[in-house]
Amino acid sequence: MVDRNRQSQALTSSADNSDSLPSLVERLLDDVAQLFDQKLALLKIELKEDLAAYVRGGIVMIAAGLVAAVGFALANIALAFAVSTFFANLQISQPARYALGFAVTGAGYLVIGTIAILITRGRLAKVGIVPRRTLNELEKDKEWLQKEIEG
Range of the domain at 142: 46-150
The rounded distance, in Å, linking the Cα atoms of 151 and 2 is 36
Whether 100 and 82 have beta carbons less than 8 Å apart is answered as no
In a domain, 22, yes or no: no
Selection from 33, 34, 49, 42 nearest residue 133 by Cα:
42
Whether 120 and 54 have beta carbons less than 8 Å apart is answered as no
Q: What integer is the mean pLDDT of 124-138?
A: 79
Q: How many distinct structural domains can be found in the chain?
A: 1
In a domain, 54, yes or no: yes
Give tens-digit pLDDT for 68-116.
889 878 877 887 788 888 888 888 898 888 888 888 888 887 898 899 9
In a domain, 115, yes or no: yes
Q: Which residue has the higher pLDDT, 129 or 78?
A: 78
In a domain, 63, yes or no: yes
Q: What integer is the mean pLDDT of 10-17?
A: 48
Average pLDDT of the chain is 81
In a domain, 145, yes or no: yes
Whether 126 and 34 have beta carbons less than 8 Å apart is answered as no
